[in-house]
Amino acid sequence: MSRQLVHRILGISVAFAGLLSLEIPTWAGDYAVHSIAKTDLKAVFGRVESRDIVQARARLGGAIFALDAVEGNSVKAGDVIATIVDDKLALQLAAFDARLKELDAQLQNASSDLSRGKSLLAAGTVPKASVDALQTKVDVLNNQVTALQADKSVVLQQVAEGKVLAPASGRILTVPVTKGSVLMPGEAIARIAAGGYFLRISLPERHAAHIREGDEVSVGSRGLEGGQSSYQSARKGKLIKVYPEIQDGLVLADVEVDGLGDFFVGERTLVWIPVDKRNVIAVPPSAITTRYGIDYAQVSGASGPMDVAVITGETFATPEGDRLEVLSGLVDGDTVIAP
């Protein structure tokens, strides 16, 4: 056998082996193209807001003796976050104590005089008017003691108001004071985000008529990264409020979603909100193939299958599975062969 014939036989064998190694596509069946309803989503940035921003204020003027409020810490309603001390109050309390001791001594003396007067009145040696005067003196001293104790209670209450309490449960946003600062009554010690978090979004005016309270929205993960991957991993939320006023061509709305407790107030994240519904041509994504950057769909025709160039949109979910929107190339009634 000549060398050329051997080479030709080897070449034919290699070619035949290559043909056997090719994957012959199999088809799952025909898909009848028809228009389906698609919800258009608008991607906007939502800003994390607190339902309430409350301020812990000083009720007493003085210097901050202790400061336990730290930005970012969580507090409960009634927690002591600062202590304010006014040195004048301690002096007033000392003066009240000294005055009470004085009145107590006078009251004991007057009570003794009244007891002797009553004894002498029983013996008939003093007139009743003298005993009445002694009784009046005792009553006046008792009333003075009661009034002084009430004034002391007012000062004690002022001392107790030196403890600044958290007005609500939440997270401390800012603490504009430092230990040792001198404050006047009513000045803020801390700002607290209370009542939970929500997302506030703003939409162009043209979408105002298409959004409704109760609509389901998708909320992306933390950060400003967008894209299809962020949408696929998004959490579900609900539109809870649409504001009736449009400002600067924007309509405001609030979105409620779980899991915002660790977000920063003012942090932004992506929100996809439904703004319209329309009928589109869509097919299973597997029905579209891409060759040299061009998308094709294999359509069943009278003369057999033929490739049709198409322009595709985005993939969206339906009850029957994922569908890929076809912007052009297919019409309602076509039959697509899906591999």
- Report d(CA 88, CA 113) in Å as an integer: 38
Using the predicted structure, report yes or no on whether residue 320 has a pLDDT greater than 90: no
Q: What is the pLDDT of residue 30?
A: 79
153 near 93, Cβ under 8 Å? no
Q: What is the pLDDT of residue 226?
A: 52
Q: What is the pLDDT of residue 24?
A: 37
Amino acid (1-letter code) at residue 256: E
**Closest to 277 in 3D by CA, of 92, 49, 40:** 40
Q: What is the pLDDT of residue 224?
A: 59
In CATH terms, 87-160 corresponds, of 1.10.287, 1.10.4100, 1.10.10, 1.10.3470, to: 1.10.287
Q: What is the CATH number of domain 40-51+197-276?
A: 2.40.30.170
DSSP character at residue 215: -
Among the listed ranges 75-84, 200-209, 215-224, which one has the minimum average pLDDT value? 215-224
**Closest to 107 in 3D by CA, of 156, 146, 152:** 146
Buried b (16+ CB within 10 A) or exposed e, 185-218: eeeebbbbbbeebbbebbbeeebbeebeeebebb
Q: What is the pLDDT of residue 29?
A: 64
Using the predicted structure, report yes or no on whether residue 99 has a pLDDT greater than 50: yes
Domain boundaries, the chain: 24-38+280-338, 40-51+197-276, 87-160
Largest CA distance in the chain: 168
Q: What is the CATH number of domain 24-38+280-338?
A: 2.40.420.20
Q: Cα 286 to chain center, whole Å?
A: 41
Please give the full DSSP string across 288-306, using - where no structure is assigned.
EEEETTEEEEEEEETTEEE
Per DSSP bridges, beta strands 182-183 and 62-67 are antiparallel
CA angle 235–236–238, rounded 5-degree value: 140
CA 243 to each of CA 178, 252, 334: distance values in angstroms, whole numbers, following the listed order: 39, 6, 45
CA 64 to each of CA 48, 57, 85, 207: distance values in angstroms, whole numbers, following the listed order: 32, 12, 6, 52
Environment class of residue 318 by beta-carbon count within 10 Å: exposed (0-12), middle (13-18) or buried (19+)? exposed
Q: What pLDDT digit, counting tens, does each position of 126-182 carry?
A: 888 888 898 999 999 999 999 999 999 999 999 999 999 999 998 999 999 999 999
Using the predicted structure, report yes or no on whether residue 251 has a pLDDT greater than 80: yes
CA 131 to each of CA 91, 125, 135, 214: distance values in angstroms, whole numbers, following the listed order: 39, 11, 6, 83
Residue 65 Rama label (left phi>0; alpha psi -120 to 50; beta): alpha
Does the model's pTM come out above 0.85? Answer: no
